[in-house]
Amino acid sequence: MKVTEKQRLSLQRMIKKWKHRLFLGEWFVFAAYGEGDESESGAIATSSPNPTYMQCTITVYESFWRKYKADQEHIIVHELCHCITEPAYRAQIDLLNFKMVTNDHINEIRERTTQRIANIAFQQEWRK
Ligand SMILES: [Zn+2]
């Protein structure tokens, strides 16, 4: 399926809006367009964040465009949130692969992730 200019712009706008709301302003977030209705694992959209270099590619598949706009936006928020949870995920994968992961490292990731979520929540409209 060919992605229209309108669809490209719409996705760019959603990413831009939520990148800032989620305090991901310094991340480079790229949009990609997958072939077919879903990814190989059955996802409408996928995210591949690299926390070290703060780069993330969000890929949307064709069924994404058949969702309501509000649902599309919710999906993009989810994919962007992977940037926040990725360090914890990577530490767990390292553990599974018998790589060195210390208690201090896990605790540091937990505290940093929790603080990021707290910062995001605390800046929301309802605070005013
Ligand atoms: Zn996910």
Mean pLDDT, contiguous 10-residue spans, the chain (128 residues): 92 96 96 95 97 97 97 98 97 95 96 96 78
Which pLDDT does position 128 carry in this prediction?
Answer: 62
Instruction: Record the pTM.
Output: 0.93
User: Residue 62 belongs to a domain with what CATH number?
Assistant: 3.30.2010
Taking the centre of ligand 1 as the mean of its atom positions, its distance from the CA of residue 66, in whole angstroms, is 19
Q: Is the dihedral of CA 93, 94, 95, 101 positive or negative?
A: negative
Range of the domain at 83: 5-127
Taking the centre of ligand 1 as the mean of its atom positions, its distance from the CA of residue 124, in whole angstroms, is 22
Which pLDDT does position 127 carry in this prediction?
Answer: 66
The count of structural domains within the chain is 1
Beginning with the edge strand found earlier in the chain, give each strand of the sheet holding 45-50 in spatial order.
28-33, 55-60, 45-50
Taking the centre of ligand 1 as the mean of its atom positions, its distance from the CA of residue 78, in whole angstroms, is 6
Taking the centre of ligand 1 as the mean of its atom positions, its distance from the CA of residue 104, in whole angstroms, is 26
Taking the centre of ligand 1 as the mean of its atom positions, its distance from the CA of residue 34, in whole angstroms, is 16
Q: Are 35 and 64 in contact (CB under 8 A)?
A: no
Taking the centre of ligand 1 as the mean of its atom positions, its distance from the CA of residue 4, in whole angstroms, is 25
